[in-house]
Amino acid sequence: MSETKGTLSSHLWDSSDLYRNSIMQLQEAAETMQLDPNIAERLKVPKRALIVSVPIRLDDGSIKCFEGYRVQHNMTLGPGKGGIRFHPEVNLSEVAGLAMLMTFKCSLVGLPLGGAKGGIRVDPNKLSRQEAQALTRRYTSEINMIIGPDKDIPAPDVGTDSQHMAWMMDTYSQEKGFAIPGVVTGKPIEIGGSLGRAESTGRGVVYTIQHAAHHLQSVGKPYPKMDHSTTVSVHGFGKVGAVAALEIYQLGTKVVAISDVSGGIYNKNGLNIPEVNLYLSKHRTLIGFPEAESISNEELFGIPVDILIPAAIDGVITSQNVGHVQATIIAEGANGPITNEALKELEGRNIFIIPDVLCNAGGVIVSYFEWVQGIQNFFWSEKEVNSKLAEVMANAFQKVMHVQARYQCGMKTAAFISGVDRLNRAMLLRGLFP
């Protein structure tokens, strides 16, 4: 605690740009909507944060300790919900910022869930399968007192996948003495996962792009026609970006540039995304893909396109490179890919931004569906999952557009207001304990 009338010390959280940007966006939303200042104060800091040491025995016999985190930002609406990230740059501040975004995301799309996030500071590419399993299981054991199907439900994020969730579910179940599949989402289908979950985030990104194109058309502004005349770039050809690229390619658009950690590729006539996926599965890199020229991640942002999808990590479009960005729509597939300074410039240029808490909400929506299906022990078809996802995303998009029109603000601010408004009402009704 700081010495200023008991206010929680901010230095614990504000070391990352993501957290600082999230706070500034919250403040802007609060000022625009004239939010109760007491509610705004409570939303600025997480409810709970846990830092754990995660020691494992490496394959060479040595023991190494990794640092792990789980942050629960706000659980007014229900249990915590949020992914587990394995990344060498993960820290407490970043995880806190991501947990905050999850709070507003769950509220915006109408889920009975709160915001949480977790992570381990590690490069997953340097771990063997056995080391990854040991790390996941020990981390689960260290945080098991604050997670559970009625407390906080983790899911995959950057550097983790359904296999990690299977290990988490098994570890938690072994310690409790019986199978508890609802402790995590994003699990394999065989142990209670949901059809459509793996593709849900990328699919939701494309749903919001279609809504944005329709909106721009309806108000007489330049809009992508979502056919072969429409050009698309995807920064971050991973779990979200690869799905979004394939989905939007199948609509008939031209995906002209994609990139991942190894670099990028470009073809002005469009890339064949199924062939790219096949090449990537064989070579584990995009570099060298035939009928495409190599480009850097930074060069991708300067390619003129109708739709730009930043789907990798936060803070990639900054005041230094924003001047090179040429797009009609930017769909934030990643969390916080645009810094606040860059966002203001893009909005000033009338580029339509689909904010992260709306754009990439498909993952948490279908995670919620998985949680519900697990509780009921009644599982839906993929067609049902996708239909329900499309309906929730459409309603959320229209909610944000209504708020944007009411307050005449930017899309990011409108999305935050949409999420904060529901939280505000719930928090005022519940009051402050004691």
Q: Is 117 a catalytic residue?
A: yes
Q: Residue ranges of the alpha helices (H) in 256-310?
A: 273-283, 297-300
Considering the candidates 117, 239, 254, 412, report the single residue annotated as catalytic. Answer: 117
The residues, any chain, with a CB within 8 Å of residue 158's CB and separated by 6 or more, are 83, 85, 86, 87, 238, 313
For 2, the 3-state DSSP assignment is: coil
Paired residues of 310 in beta bridges: 235
Crossing angle of helices 17-33 and 340-348, in 10° steps, is 50
**What residue type is 189 in one-letter code?**
I
Torsion, CA 316, CA 401, CA 366, CA 196, rounded to 10 = -80
Beta strands in 296-383 (DSSP E): 307-310, 329-331, 352-354
Q: Is 337 exposed, middle or buried (0-12, 13-18, 19+ CB in 10 A)?
A: buried
CA within 13 Å, CB half, 432:
7
d(CA 427, CA 20): 23
How many H helices and E strands in the chain?
14, 12
CB-CB contact of 205 with 337 (8 Å): no
d(CA 152, CA 106): 13
Report DSSP letters for 58-78, one per residue: -TTS-EEEEEEEEEEEE-SSS
Dihedrals phi, psi of 398, to nearest 5 degrees: -65, -35
221-234 CB burial, b ≥16 within 10 A, e <16: eebbebeeebbbbb
* Residues labelled as active-site residues: 117
